[in-house]
Structure 1
Amino acid sequence: MTGYRYRVPAGSGSAELRERGSRFLARLEPVADEEAAKQHLAALAARHPDASHHCWAWRLGSPPRERSSDAGEPAGTAGRPILRALRGAGVSDVLAVVSRWFGGTRLGRGGLARAYGGAVRAALAATAVGERLAYETIAVTVPYALFGELQRLVQPPEIELASADYGESVRCTLRVIPPRRAAVVERLAALGLEAAGSRSERGPGC
């Protein structure tokens, strides 16, 4: 993960681990935002209503935002090990959920942490991984006489013309990877164009 180029799951994945009678089913889902993560979590919990716990962690974007939950297990024995496994793999835009069916034998804090983290690592090993670019967007209004100059700035996938609204002039949105942003803004200024504020945005996985 470089800050603008980061690893993402190319699809869903799962793995199962059994430890002293308990069953741990890990599921990975690619997610774009927190709302999608919540929806997948609810769906997975509904799919296995007989499980004792549904512990989880997610990472979103780059630099990643992170959350995790022990979901009723002793503090620090489930959510954090799941999150550590995701960090270790360097993946983001991902939800990991581990459903546990209690087998009658207590595993202790260390045993729980190893089981939850191990289940996620096994799921990661079975899941294809791709790459995604993190962009910043730049809004700029361009006279038609300079639109060709703007188009010459476009160099996919690092600099993309995300949208163009044609009116009296052309209102454009550029998607730019962070290392190229300063040079693009400088070039726009040299053309007499003012770049409006930017926001973070993800590109498609590859």
Structure 2
Amino acid sequence: MTGLVAPGYIPVMSDRYLIPANSHRVEDSIKRSRFIASVDHAPDTESARKFINQIKAEFPDATHNCWAYAAGPPGDTASVGLSDNGEPSGTAGKPMLNMLLHGGIGEVAVVVTRYFGGTKLGTGGLVRAYSGMVKLGLESLPTKEMVKTVTRSVTIPYPSVTLFKRMLPNLEIEILTEEFTDTAGFSLEMPEEHLTQFITRLTDMTDGKAKITEK
């Protein structure tokens, strides 16, 4: 495995981005070689390696099982890896990783399996084949939105409960639990990007009487 921090890439740090919704596979034949691209969600290096080993075990007789992963937000090079797995250096893993970093999808791993068909593709042909397979896989990949969330516990005076609950949908806040004693208590989950606004609005709404604690 080769770790890589590619020059020229600027990490895209966002609380929201697309990730694979489930595992996905595409196939193609290029000059009689059979290519299979397997794509899956990889939120961290450990899950990426597990997926890679799973595919290698599924296709143990393949000529090559080349792979790449970017286990972070789209374009982030902090946790990436690649392998040419026997193909000429730089013809498989690197173009595959480049395609992942430019694909607009985060937390993703891909293995491109090749069964050699008897016709050599040449250096340029290999680069086009491996990057093209990743592109084909990403274009048809089912995705979902990753939203970074936080949880907070709050207690508020009873007169503020109605306005408090009206505020929640606009900030995409979900009530996890409720508890009513001398005050109204709530356990909440919300997008991290809304936390500052939530605290400000809740403080104003309750004239500073709300208590907010981390869970």
Q: TM-score range by the shorter chain?
A: 0.7 to 0.9
Report the alpha carbon displacement of residue 159 of structure 1 after superposing the two structures with TM.
Answer: 2.0
2:63–2:114 CA contact under 8 A, matched in 1: yes
CA gap of 1:76–1:188, structure 2 versus 1, over 3 A, is: farther
Q: Distance in 2 between matches of 1:144 and 1:62?
A: 40
The letter of the residue matching 1:40 is F
Partner of 1:92: 106
Cα deviations by residue, 1:52-110 (Å, 9 ceiling, x for unpaired): 33222233453556523114344432222222223343122332111122345554433
Distance 2:127 2:211 in 1: 53
* Alignment partner, residue 126 of structure 1: 140
> Any idea what SS the aligned residue of 1:90 has?
coil
Structure 2 residue ranges without an equivalent (≥5)? 1-11
Q: Distance in 2 between matches of 1:195 and 1:28?
A: 41
Q: Secondary structure at the match of 1:182?
A: helix
Kindly, what percent of the aligned residue pairs are identical?
29
Match of 1:202 in 2: none
Residues 57/173 of structure 1: CA separation in 2 closer, same or farther (3 Å cut): farther
- Specify whether residues 150 and 56 from structure 1 end up closer, same or farther in structure 2 by C-alpha distance, changes over 3 A only: farther
Q: In the aligned structure 2, how far is the partner of 1:175 from the partner of 1:142?
A: 16
Counterpart of 1:24 in structure 2 is 35
Q: Is the 8 A contact 1:22 1:103 kept in 2?
A: yes
**Preserved contact between residue 52 and residue 102 of structure 1 (Cα < 8 Å):** yes
Q: Displacement, 1:163?
A: 2.5
For residue 118 of structure 1, report the CA deviation from its aligned partner: 0.8
Instruction: Specify every segment of 5 or more residues in structure 1 that has no aligned partner in the other structure, as ranges.
Output: 199-206
The answer for the alignment partner of 2:23 in structure 1 is 12
Kindly indicate whether residue 190 of structure 2 is the aligned counterpart of residue 175 of structure 1.
Answer: yes
Per the normalisation by structure 1, the TM-score is: 0.72
Q: Partners of 1:115 and 1:104 in 2: how far apart?
A: 15
TM-score (norm 2): 0.70
Question: What does 1:184-203 align with in structure 2 at a 5 Å threshold?
Answer: 184-190=198-204, 191=206, 192=208, 193=210, 195-196=212-213
Distance 2:148 2:178 in 1: 20
Report the aligned-residue RMSD: 3.3
Q: Is the 8 A contact 1:138 1:195 kept in 2?
A: no
Q: What is the aligned residue count?
A: 195
